Structures are given as structure tokens and as C-alpha cells.
Amino acid sequence: GEALLADGAPAGEIASAAYGASLDGLTALALVRRDDGPVDQAWLDARDWTVDLAGTRVPVRASLKPFALPAAT
């Protein structure tokens, strides 16, 4: 998968990606590594995340929240 960068340094990779209609944009699942402790939301929020797409760095957001289906109306 594509490289996931935290503050410009390799931190993981994209395992799966797809268009999210309810988001009107791309959503992805990534595997993230941290050598000095657990991965938690505070650690994710303290970094600038990008994905390397064929040499172009694209800014992304990182979250521990699971994917969810939109509520039925």
C-alpha cells in the first residue's frame, strides 16, 4: 500500500481505501507503527499526516474511530 507519513517520516501504510459516499471523499484503513508507546488519539492528533501517492504528499486526517454505516432514515 501507499506510505503513510507522520511529520514527514514513515509511520505505516494504507491497507485498504475506497470512496466514502457519505463523506463525499476517500476513506482508508491504515496500519500505523509507534516504537515508543501505544498509538492513541492524542498521539495521532499531535502529528501532521500525509500519504505518499506516487511521489506526491497528500494531507490526511488520522482517527481511531471505526467505520460506521450512516443511520437509516
Position 73 pLDDT exceeds 70 = no
**Torsion sign, CA atoms 15, 19, 21, 25:** positive
Percent of the chain predicted with pLDDT > 90: 77
Q: What is the pTM of this model?
A: 0.83
| 56-60 and 25-32 beta bridge pairing | unpaired
Cα separation of 69 and 73, whole Å? Answer: 12
Distance, CA of 25 to CA of 6 (rounded, Å): 21
In the chain, pLDDT over 70 holds for what percent of residues? Answer: 96
Parallel, antiparallel or unpaired: strands 56-60 and 3-6: unpaired
Query: pLDDT tens for residues 19-48?
Result: 988 788 889 999 999 999 999 999 999 999
The predicted structure's pLDDT at residue 72 = 66
Mean of all residue pLDDT scores within the chain: 91
